[in-house]
Structure 1
Amino acid sequence: MIGIKQLSDRENTKSITFRLPKRILEQIELEAGQNNVSENVLVKQILTNYVDWFRLSKGTGMIPISKESFQKLTQNLDGTSIYDIVENIHLMIKNFGLIRYGRYDLKTAIGSLSMYVQMSNFQLVHLKEENSHRFLITHSLGISWSLVLEQLINTTFGEFVDPSQIKFKTTDDSIIASVILTSLD
């Protein structure tokens, strides 16, 4: 199927040449230098983000908002509001998985959830040790958003594993979710 990313660790590559305005190339060179990566790596990251996220998220109704404004909007969420937000984000992640991968299973749910977290400019570390997976997310948005993320992870993984296999450590600005996953297939 065209446009669907395969879930493999290694992708075939192809060389191509683009003609770009000088100012764009200068900004790419500057950004690559500041991040200690090659221009090729930076351009690949930009294109991957577009193909894997921005292109697919155009119709999701997302709007840009400053971090400070978002913090103010979410600082006093009650249980019902958290539930409603989680249901909305979970549906978006599920639809994103179906569009991006052509299916929705545990492996694509992890990929879609990870992409959502990264595109939200949160830090994500996914540690694997045998069947144990730990997801460390740092967001700096306060306890309400930690509770949203906790519920989102619980809802997402709860479709595939027994909820007793999901444990959380939650702080004001971060969450650690530990999940026992017997199989990703």
Structure 2
Amino acid sequence: MDSSDLEKVTTPKKTKSITFRLDTMVIDELQREAHGAEISLNVLVNQVLRRYIEWDRFENKVGMIPIPKSILCSLLNQTMEVAAEAKIADLEAYRDRIVKHVAESALKVMKDTVLFMRNDYSFWTVLDVLRRYMKVAGITSDHRVEQGRKHVFIIQHDLGETWSLFAKELLLMIFSELANVKAEINATDKTVKAEVNL
């Protein structure tokens, strides 16, 4: 954490008071949700508005649609089942080609999306937009700095082995093309962990 990051953490955010006129049903649902989450209504409304500012307002503009995790999980798995039924000789090489192609396509889409959302396309803005996407999609992620320059990125997606391979390939491309570094990436069926010196 450098000094600018420390200032962001320790400097209190400026706030303003504002009044809105909302439908009673909306207020009741917000209060019920806040109570269930054991947070104040003010905190919940801030979270909702922050998510809108950081993500939701861009979704339609960049062509994103919400899709259930179960469909995402089954897409690549069913592709592999069809390949097996078609008696493709080397299924592993076929899967690797698909994963690489999907990761390359995802990186191209990310470039346009990040440029549109942030008016900047750099390593850190890509990682920030990716982090925000995962948060909205319900994918757990973490970023830690260990031993000075060593960054550890963890993604826990619960989408299966093929999605881990996709995430691994995408991260390798991001680190290589945008930071010009080689990352050490390990993956399980549910989790991807990348370690890199930056």
For 1:89 and 1:33, locate their aligned partners in 2 and report how far apart those are by CA, in whole Å: 38
For 1:139 and 1:159, locate their aligned partners in 2 and report how far apart those are by CA, in whole Å: 23
Query: Which structure has more helix as a fraction of its residues?
Result: 2
Answer yes or no: is 1:79 the counterpart of 2:96: yes
For 2:178 and 2:72, locate their aligned partners in 1 and report how far apart those are by CA, in whole Å: 31
Flag the structure with more relative contact order, 1 or 2, with Cα contacts below 8 A and sequence separation at least 6.
Answer: 1
- The TM-score, its normalising length taken from structure 2, stands at 0.78
Deviates further, 166-175 or 27-36: 27-36
For 1:140 and 1:92, locate their aligned partners in 2 and report how far apart those are by CA, in whole Å: 23
What is the CA RMSD across the aligned residues, in angstroms? 2.1
- Partners of 1:136 and 1:174 within 8 A in 2: yes
Higher Cα radius of gyration: 2
For 1:65 and 1:106, locate their aligned partners in 2 and report how far apart those are by CA, in whole Å: 26
2:38 corresponds to which residue? 36
- Please, which runs of 5 or more residues in structure 1 have no aligned partner? 1-6
Q: Secondary structure at the match of 1:177?
A: strand
Q: Which amino acid letter does the alignment assign opposite residue 127 of structure 1?
A: R
2:179 corresponds to which residue? 161
- Partners of 1:60 and 1:92 within 8 A in 2: no
Deviation per residue, 1:138-167 (Å, 9 max, x gap): 111101111111111111121233443x11
Q: Secondary structure at the match of 1:160?
A: helix
For 1:15 and 1:99, locate their aligned partners in 2 and report how far apart those are by CA, in whole Å: 30
Shift of 1:174: 0.8
- Partners of 2:62 and 2:113 within 8 A in 1: no
For 2:117 and 2:36, locate their aligned partners in 1 and report how far apart those are by CA, in whole Å: 31
Shift of 1:30: 1.7
For 1:47 and 1:84, locate their aligned partners in 2 and report how far apart those are by CA, in whole Å: 36
Q: Residues 84, 13 of structure 1: CA spacing in aligned structure 2 closer, same or farther, 3 A cutoff?
A: farther
1:101 corresponds to which residue? 118
Q: Secondary structure at the match of 1:147?
A: helix
Shift of 1:115: 1.3
- Partners of 2:140 and 2:155 within 8 A in 1: yes
- The TM-score, its normalising length taken from structure 1, stands at 0.83
2:70 corresponds to which residue? 68
- Partners of 1:94 and 1:112 within 8 A in 2: no
Deviation per residue, 1:65-116 (Å, 9 max, x gap): 3222222112255223222322232233322322333212222122112112
Deviation per residue, 1:102-131 (Å, 9 max, x gap): 212222122112112222210011111221
Q: Which amino acid letter does the alignment assign opposite residue 151 of structure 1?
A: E
Q: Secondary structure at the match of 1:64?
A: coil
Identical pairs, percent: 30
